[in-house]
Structure formats: C-alpha cells, structure tokens
C-alpha cells in the first residue's frame, strides 16, 4: 500500500493524575515526580501540536493542573470518563475525535516522550497507509509509543506489557522508526531519562532538571 502523506490526524494523549505518575523514577526531591511528569507531558504535547500533519491533539486527563497546561499549549482537554485505564482512555478520545473530525486519521501516543521532535511524528504518521493500522515500538522493542488508525480502520489500542507483539499479532503494521528517535524513547526510569537526554530533551524537561540539580539520577 502506498503511504498517504496528505492525511491529517487527531492525536490522543492520555495523561495520568500527577500524584500517581512515574513511581519508578527515584532520586527526585519531594513532589519531583509529579513536576517531571508534567514537564515531560508538556514537551510531548508541544511537539505533537507542532507536527505538520497533526490537526488536533486531545489530552485525556482528570488532573486540573495538567488540563490547564495542555490547554495553554493548544490541546483539546477531555476528562477521562471511562476512568478504566490507558487503552480505555485512548478509545474514548478516539471516539470523540472520529465524531468531531471523521475525515482524520486517529492516533494514540504516550505522554512521556520528552525527546520527541515534530518531524519524527510527521514522518511516522505519513508512513501509515490508507485504511491501515500501524504502531511504533519503544526503544526496547517490546512496548508501544504510538498507535495509529487511518480513516475507515478500526482503532484497537493494546498498550501495556508486551504491547508491540500484541499490536503486531492484531494486524497492525510496525513502522520503521530509528531506535535513536525521541518518538521511541518513553521514560519510566532514571536510565530511560538518561537515554532520552542523550537524544535531546524538550525545553520544559531540560529546565526542570536544571532546577533540581540535586537529583541523584540527573543525566
């Protein structure tokens, strides 16, 4: 199938309540995990808003601080009505997007991609063929950072443990994105953050880490 570079997208990004975010990131001062989660989400959403073929970014969250920040960045913010997990939030956002903008493809993306660049996202989405489902694996090759469904194709996200193999088994095409791309580097641990920093962090995450230089795990 021939990729359709002219296809525009709605992008759904679920963001956890900050108090529950990034429990595996250790060594930060009090409240640091919540601040880092917000900074990474802000850099992720800012890059998505700037991507050439992303027409709308939908952030699904029940956190008022997240909602205010993402609205400021230009995203549409929706409460997490299902409140049942990541895939349910993605499907809820996708349903809303298809109701509002049926001509657009719909994609779901992780909120912890602080090294994401708009051009990477544009290129990946441009490689999704018409009426097709596709995904981008994480840097380890086992998880998923992006799942996309063109108009007319079902949206069936399977994020979670071993999600890359489950998306592949469900018939989604694996998109070829360099392992060095920020789009593949989600952050759950201090080592993940070091790897993202080697690629180049977004401005909000960079500024926060500079401000908390006492963090024992700083890259």
Domains in the chain with CATH codes: 9-208 (3.90.550.10)
Give the pLDDT confidence score for residue 4 in this predicted structure: 43
Q: What is the pLDDT of residues 52-74, one digit of tens each?
A: 999 999 999 999 999 999 999 99
Please check the confidence at residue 219 and state whether its pLDDT lies above 60: no
Average pLDDT, integer, range 160-189? 96
Residue 95 predicted with pLDDT over 60? yes
> In this predicted structure, which of 21-25, 47-51, 106-110 has the lowest mean pLDDT?
21-25
Backbone φ and ψ of 197, nearest 5°: -65, -35
- pLDDT given at position 32: 81
Supply the pTM of this predicted model. Answer: 0.92
Look up tokens 């956002």; give the residue: 93
DSSP label at residue 99: H
Per-residue confidence at 171, pLDDT binned at 50, 70, 90? Answer: very high
In the sheet that holds 76-78, the strands lie side by side as 76-78, 54-60, 9-14, 105-109, 144-149, 133-137, 173-174
**How much is the mean pLDDT over the chain?**
91
Does the CA dihedral 191-157-46-116 come out positive or negative?
positive
Residue 168 reports pLDDT greater than 60: yes
Checking if the pLDDT of 76 tops 50, the result is yes
pLDDT at 131: 80
d(Cα 47, Cα 142) in Å, to the nearest integer?
Answer: 24
For residue 182, with 0-12 CB atoms within 10 Å meaning exposed, 13-18 middle and 19 or more buried, which class applies? Answer: buried
């Amino acid at each position: 199938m021939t990729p359709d570079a002219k296809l525009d997208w709605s992008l759904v990004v679920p963001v956890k309540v900050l108090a529950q975010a990034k429990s595996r990131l250790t060594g930060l001062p009090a409240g640091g995990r919540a601040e880092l989660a917000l900074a990474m989400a802000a850099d992720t959403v800012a890059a998505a808003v700037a991507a050439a073929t992303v027409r709308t970014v939908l952030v699904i969250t029940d956190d008022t601080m997240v909602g205010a920040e993402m609205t400021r960045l230009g995203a549409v913010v929706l409460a997490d009505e299902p409140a049942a997990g990541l895939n349910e939030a993605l499907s809820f956002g996708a349903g809303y997007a298809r109701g509002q903008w049926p001509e657009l493809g719909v994609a779901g993306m992780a909120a912890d991609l602080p090294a994401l660049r708009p051009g990477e996202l544009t290129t990946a989405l441009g490689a999704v063929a018409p009426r097709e489902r596709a995904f981008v694996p994480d840097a380890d090759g086992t998880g998923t950072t992006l799942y996309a469904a063109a108009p007319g194709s079902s949206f069936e996200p399977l994020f979670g443990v071993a999600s890359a193999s489950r998306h592949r088994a469900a018939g989604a095409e694996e998109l070829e994105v360099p392992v060095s791309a920020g789009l593949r580097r989600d952050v759950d641990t201090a080592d993940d953050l070091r790897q993202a920093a080697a690629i180049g962090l977004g401005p909000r995450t960079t500024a926060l880490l500079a401000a908390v230089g006492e963090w024992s795990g700083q890259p």
